[in-house]
Structures are given as structure tokens and as C-alpha cells.
Structure 1
Amino acid sequence: MVRIEEAIKIIQDQDIKLKTEIRKLINCLGFSISEDFVAPFAMPSFDNSAMDGYALCGIIQEYKIVGEVAAGNISEIDLKEGEAVRIFTGAKVPENTTAVMMQEKAKVNGDKLILEEQPKEGQSIRRKGGQLEEGQLVFEKGYAITPAGIGMIASLGIEKVEVYKKPVINLITTGDELITPGKFKKEGQIYESNSYALAVACEQFGFPVQHRLQIEDNFESIKSGIKKSIENTDILILSGGISVGDYDFVKQALEENGVEEQFYKVFQKPGKPLFFGRKENKFVFALPGNPASSLSCFYIYVLPFLQKFSGFQECGLPKYSFSISHDFENRSDRPSFLKAKVINDNVQILDGQGSSMIQSMAKGNALAFIDAETSAKKGDQIDCYLIS
């Protein structure tokens, strides 16, 4: 059995052979770039107007209007002292432009422009290179591309980007008592939910699951299912059958499929019977079967590894400290990840902390971490992992 910190370090220290691919920019959301990205030219690439108004030459109160410049047009006008042109947002300012005055602060009388206030030199002009200089680092290797990132890259004229490939993920759940939602439930049966929760948890963070498989509690079936699933996957996630019961065959089936144990069992609550292993450059997480345990282990251990496998700079859920809104005592002899809800910088530990209880997790938005046999008084700061 390992402690939480050891388990996290073992996962983080895994040597992974990252693969890259070229993708169209519009399909790069949530992928991480595989090399430093530098600006191919200055941005803006020319001095331009920040608003609709008038480009002015000189600092005076009255100007002569000598033309107009629309966005996308290249003006031949070379302004002289006391001259102005009508200009629109994004248009290149003429040579010798001192400032741009917004149209709301000016009056026009024939070809005369009269200002309501005196302009300041350089006002409302976006200078060439004001955002980026040519050759400047835009994003570091491992940057996870956001919608704004896609907009930034597109503004630099880039259509395709080299990114790290995301892992192929397969998911197996085990249990004779489990049936698919929608089917008639007999006495003693349970609707299977873990594959649904784990699959959408993966997808929530941009990692689609290739295939889901439900297997009965039979050693040969589990062994065969693992063999088939691990052949065409990068990361195999299992749920159930990893404890020490008479029908828990997953660990033995993994071993007979050549999966080398990296650790088994973590000193924590919930989620003690957690297995992590690898076979060459393929990795396996065997999670507990109880729904809340399974999902908690996914957030703390599996998600950061999916991100690491995808070349991300930053991995794992956001972690912050919040004031607890009530007294709480963790009577467990193990450090605990507790279902919680964060509201206005305060955290509430929810009722229903049993490892099989998924409702409280569905109502919460965080996992609060409290050490073994530790009491927290109202107002104390405790660490929380934000799920949503």
C-alpha cells in the first residue's frame, strides 16, 4: 500500500512516448501544442485606429478634413499639420497621424472638424507590434489550446498546428449484478452507472472514450476482455473487481495479461483498492467499483495522467483553499477526499459520504481534502479540488 503522495509521484514519473499530429486549427480545441509557438510577424502588423473617428495631424482644436480611410483600405494620404481624415476601427492610420479622436467628441461643419476636447498624442492608435513583436514567443510547448488561443493563432494566419495526440481510452466495468439502464431490473440487480460517469468525466475534459465494455464476474471473461481491450488502447480504465473478494478477478487477470503493477492500494478514503500498472507504453487504472470511490479516483489520479499523456503543461484539477462553513471532524484513520460544495469562497462538506453514494457528489462541485483524524473548525482553511 502506498500513500497519496507516493501514488501521485509514481504516476507523474512514468516515462511516456508522446506522439504528435498535424490538425486543422478549428479542430485543435483542448489539444496541447508540441513545440514553442512564435509570432511569424508583428501584431498588429501596422499602426491602426482603435475606434471610429478622425485621424489627426497635430494637437489643435480645429482641422481640415481631407479624406476617408476604411478598414482594409490603404490610404495614399500623407497628413499635414492641421489636417484630418475620417477613419474607421482597424483601418491603417495615414502617415504623420498624431492621434485618433472618437467621433462622439467631434463636430463636422463642411470640411471643418471641431473637437470638443484636446487630443493626447498617440491616443486611440494601436501601434505596430503593440501586442506581439515578430519572433516573440506566443505559447510555450504544452499549452492547452483554448477558444481564445484558437483565435490568437488564426489571427496570425496559421491554418494547421502540430499538437500532441490524445490517448486512446477503453473502459471496462465488471459485475454480475450490473445491468444496462433501460432494461428490466430483477431483485438483486443494480443498474450500471460507472461506465456512464467515467466516460462523460473523460469527455468533460476533452478525452473521448473509444469503447465501453461490460463483463461479468468471470475470470476467463475478464482476462479475455482485458487482452482484447489493451491491444488497441493507450489507457485502459477498469471499474470494479479490484478488491479482495472471492469474485474480484481483475488484478490476477491484469497480471496474466502482462500488466506490471506500479502500485496497488492507496492509504486513503474512499478508493483504497486502486491499481495502477503498465504494459510497455500502455497504462491501466483499475478503480474501485463503488460509484463515488471510482469517480473520486478518476479526478485525483486518472485525469492528471490523461493530461500528462497529452503533453499538457499543467495537469489535474484546480486546487484552492477555502474557509469551511461549519465544524467538521474526520474520524477516519485515513486521509479523505470528501464530497463538498464551494459557494462564495466557503466550502460545505456534504452529507452522504459513503463510497457508494453518488447523489451527494452530483450535488457538489468539489472534493475537500482532510487528513486522517483531523478536526476543522468553522472558518478554517481546507484544500479543495474543484470538479466544476
Structure 2
Amino acid sequence: MISVDEAIQLVIGHTPSPRTITLPLQACAGHVLAQDILSPGPFPSFDQSAMDGYAFCFADWQQNPLPVDGETAAGQFPEPLIQGTTRRIFTGAAIPPGADTVVMQEHVQTHDGVIHIENSTLIAGANVRKQGSQIQAGECALPSGHTLQAAGIGFLASMGFDRATVFEKPVIHIVVTGSELLPPGAPAEAGKVYESNSVMLLAALRSIGMEAQAVHHVPDDPQATLALLDRLSTECDYILATGGVSVGDYDFVGQMKHHPAFQSIFHKVKQKPGKPLLFGQFHRSLVFGLPGNPASVLTCFYAYVMPSLLKASGISHSNHYNKARLSEDLQKKPGLTVFYKAVLQDDVVRILPQQESYILRSYALANCLVVVQEEDTLLHAGYEVSCLLIPLMPV
């Protein structure tokens, strides 16, 4: 067995660098930019009115009435303003040459084609969006490494971009093994249990902006298990297999290690839960052989699968850890790093009851995992520990 730190280093070390792909903007949400985006021009690209109102030259006003010489709507490029006049204008419309200020329509009185401005606090340049006030030509609009969300996509579109070069997200398949499993919603059967790992992994993937392309169920059959894993390993980047990696008579996922195309990187980690974790390369796929117990599956996902997927997508993983102080004493046996289901509030973390690897009830209430190193045996209340934060589902 290897240590948790060694296992994490091996996972990250064998995770490939992200691939780039150019996508339409509408498909870029959640992707990470693979290059700096430079502004192709100044934006706004011309002086714009920020209000519905009247455009005029402030120096010509002198508190005098101004005759209206026409109007300019959004989308029109206006003729120059006649000196000493004003122009009816609408939000987003180009400021006519010769004008430098807009007065809101609520602050004027109109009579016989002449306006009287009733705003004693009006200043030159008011209500005008100046050319380049958002960004100048050649300026970095968004840097490489930035995760695109709605605002960023809208920003790029507003500069005329219709696509962006981003890091491609990996192709992921989930394999669930076990003849004892029933799909949720099926009638209960003696000796059977409901299969929860696949739906749990799908939700965990979505919480970090990933999707699995398919979920495969296979019974406890060595030939069927190996044939499925062999086929998938030529089609995808990641295989997340649950169950079948321990030493039982029906644990067949681990038999991948005997396939000539499989490179076993490690099998078994000095940790609890999830000690039987298997990690390797099978053809083009990275394979995580996750234990069958649900809490073990989820812990191994957060500790190992998540950082690998994030690296492969060009996303930083550093913000998923935090420091906090224990709310009470914690005692454990030496020899294994333990991931405790816990609740973090402010800078204090409380260890939850029901830490067994088959129990999800406490996991459902947890917002972090407290990581206690293998050599530690007694930690007193107030001791500072490392917390692996559980990602929240996107709103």
C-alpha cells in the first residue's frame, strides 16, 4: 500500500494536460479559456447615449432653450448636430458629432420644437457612454485560465466573437458492477440492494461541471466485466468503475491488472474509507477502480478523481481545501489517513457520527471531509486540520 500523498501525486502526475478545442460561444459555458482573448477594438465602439433624452453640446446650452433638429435611434449613424440645437436620442444610439452631453427626457419641457432643460446639476458629458470606456483595442478582455460563465460569454459576444478556444472536457464512462444491485424504483427483493453509486457519481460530476457520457451495469461475471472495460478503454478518457476491486471471490474489476494493455499505477492506499482503490491506464483511458461501498466511492471521487478531472479540463483545484479548527477532541488508530465526514461552519469543523463506509446518511449532511494523517492518533479541540470541501451543486 502507498500513502494518500503518494497516491494523489501519482494521479496528478499521470493526468494528461488538457486538450484544446474551439467551440461556439453558446457551448462554452463551464469551459476554461485556453488563450488570452484580446479586444479587437474599443468598446463601446462609438460614443453612445445612456438614456432616452436629448443630445446637445454643453458649451452651447448656457441655460438657454434649444431647438430640436431631429432624432437618432439606436442602429443609426447620425448626421452632425447643428450648433446651438439639440437632437432627440434614445438609449444605445450614437451621439451625433458636435454633441457631448445627454439630458434625460424626464428633465426637459418641450414646446413648439424647443426644449427647456430643468436640471441644475447637469454636467458636461453626462449620460454618455464614451468610446472605449469598457475596453480599449488590444487590451486583454479575458485571460487564459478563466472559466467562462454567462457574463463572460455575453462580454465576448458583445465584442463580436462567436466562438472561443477552450480546454476540452474529458469523455467519462461509469461502470457499475454487482449482481446484487437493483435499480432505484424497482420492487425490493430479498438479498438485493438498491444501486446508488451511479446516480451519486453523476451528481458529483455535475457539481464540478462534468458529465458522464454513459453508465454501464455489469453483473459479477469476469468475462463480461473485462470485455466491457476493454472496449470502453478505447473509447473514452476516464472509466469510473465501482465495486469489484477488493479481494473477494466476486471482485472482478481488479482482474484488469492481468490484461497486457493495462498499466497498474497503484492498488490499495493507506486510507479509510476506500483502501482498495485501484488506479491505472488501460489503452487510452485512465481507470479508477472505486470500492463498492457508497461512502468509499464518494470519498475517492473527491480525493482523487475530482483533482484529476479538473486538471484535465484546465481548472485549478487549489480552492477545494480549507483550514479549520476541530470543535472537539478526535481520536483514531495510527496507520491510515482517515477522511471524516464533517460540517464546516466559519472556521470550526464538527465531525459527524456514522463514519462507516456503507453509510450515506451522514455524508448527505456533510459539507467537507476532514483529512487526518496516518500518524496522528489524538487531536484536541481547537487543533487546526485540513478540510476537503465538498463542491456545491450549480444553482
TM > 0.5 fold call: yes
Give, in whole Å, the separation in 1 of the partners of 2:270 and 2:63: 76
Task: Flag the 1:238–1:93 CA change in 2: closer, same or farther, 3 A.
Answer: same
| Mean CA deviation greater in 375-384 or 174-183 | 375-384
The amino acid of 1:159's aligned partner reads D
Render the CA deviation track for 1:173-221: whole Å, top value 9, x for unaligned: 2223222223343322211111121123223433222222222333333
Give, in whole Å, the separation in 2 of the partners of 1:5 and 1:61: 75
Instruction: Return the TM-score normalized by structure 1.
Output: 0.86
- Which one of the candidate residues 170, 173, 195 is aligned to 1:170? 173
Give, in whole Å, the separation in 1 of the partners of 2:25 and 2:322: 33
Note if 1:108 corresponds to 2:112.
no
Task: Flag the 1:9–1:142 CA change in 2: closer, same or farther, 3 A.
Answer: same
- Which one of the candidate residues 362, 365, 369 is aligned to 2:364? 362
The amino acid of 1:387's aligned partner reads P
Note if 1:331 corresponds to 2:332.
yes
Partner of 1:2: 2
Q: How many residues align?
A: 384
Show the 5 A alignment for 1:242-321.
242-256=245-259, 258-310=261-313, 312-315=314-317, 318-321=320-323
Question: What secondary structure, in the 3-state scheme, does the structure 2 residue paired with 1:289 have?
Answer: coil
Give, in whole Å, the separation in 2 of the partners of 1:190 and 1:197: 15
Q: 8 Å contact 2:15–2:311 — kept in the other structure?
A: no
Give, in whole Å, the separation in 1 of the partners of 2:359 and 2:46: 60
Q: 8 Å contact 1:239–1:288 — kept in the other structure?
A: yes
Give, in whole Å, the separation in 1 of the partners of 2:192 and 2:19: 42
Task: Flag the 1:122–1:329 CA change in 2: closer, same or farther, 3 A.
Answer: farther
Q: How big is the shift at 1:373?
A: 3.0
- Which one of the candidate residues 213, 218, 238 is aligned to 2:241? 238
Q: 8 Å contact 2:370–2:385 — kept in the other structure?
A: no
Q: How big is the shift at 1:342?
A: 4.4
Instruction: Return the TM-score normalized by structure 2.
Output: 0.85
Partner of 2:129: 126
Question: What secondary structure, in the 3-state scheme, does the structure 2 residue paired with 1:118 have?
Answer: coil
Task: Flag the 1:182–1:15 CA change in 2: closer, same or farther, 3 A.
Answer: closer
Give, in whole Å, the separation in 1 of the partners of 2:325 and 2:275: 27
| Mean CA deviation greater in 23-32 or 11-20 | 11-20
| Mean CA deviation greater in 109-118 or 237-246 | 109-118
Q: Percent identity?
A: 35
Partner of 1:44: 44
Task: Flag the 1:28–1:366 CA change in 2: closer, same or farther, 3 A.
Answer: same
Give, in whole Å, the separation in 1 of the partners of 2:324 and 2:116: 57
- Which one of the candidate residues 148, 158, 161 is aligned to 1:158? 161
| Mean CA deviation greater in 202-211 or 354-363 | 202-211
Task: Flag the 1:335–1:28 CA change in 2: closer, same or farther, 3 A.
Answer: same
Q: 8 Å contact 2:178–2:220 — kept in the other structure?
A: yes
**CA RMSD in angstroms, aligned pairs only:** 2.9
Give, in whole Å, the separation in 1 of the partners of 2:85 and 2:272: 75
| Mean CA deviation greater in 167-176 or 116-125 | 116-125
Q: How big is the shift at 1:29?
A: 1.8
Q: 8 Å contact 1:63–1:84 — kept in the other structure?
A: no
Partner of 2:351: 349
Give, in whole Å, the separation in 2 of the partners of 1:151 and 1:340: 38
Q: How big is the shift at 1:370?
A: 4.1
Render the CA deviation track for 1:296-351: whole Å, top value 9, x for unaligned: 211222122223223x2423763334566x32415253333332344567644333
Render the CA deviation track for 1:60-115: whole Å, top value 9, x for unaligned: 544514343322222213364x64433322222223434334444x2314213323
- Which one of the candidate residues 97, 106, 116 is aligned to 2:99? 97
Q: 8 Å contact 1:266–1:272 — kept in the other structure?
A: yes
- Which one of the candidate residues 68, 71, 88 is aligned to 1:68? 71
- Which one of the candidate residues 207, 211, 214 is aligned to 1:211? 214
Q: 8 Å contact 1:223–1:254 — kept in the other structure?
A: no
Note if 1:181 corresponds to 2:184.
yes
Q: 8 Å contact 1:223–1:257 — kept in the other structure?
A: no
The amino acid of 1:270's aligned partner reads P
Task: Flag the 1:374–1:79 CA change in 2: closer, same or farther, 3 A.
Answer: farther
Task: Flag the 1:275–1:120 CA change in 2: closer, same or farther, 3 A.
Answer: farther
Task: Flag the 1:112–1:199 CA change in 2: closer, same or farther, 3 A.
Answer: closer
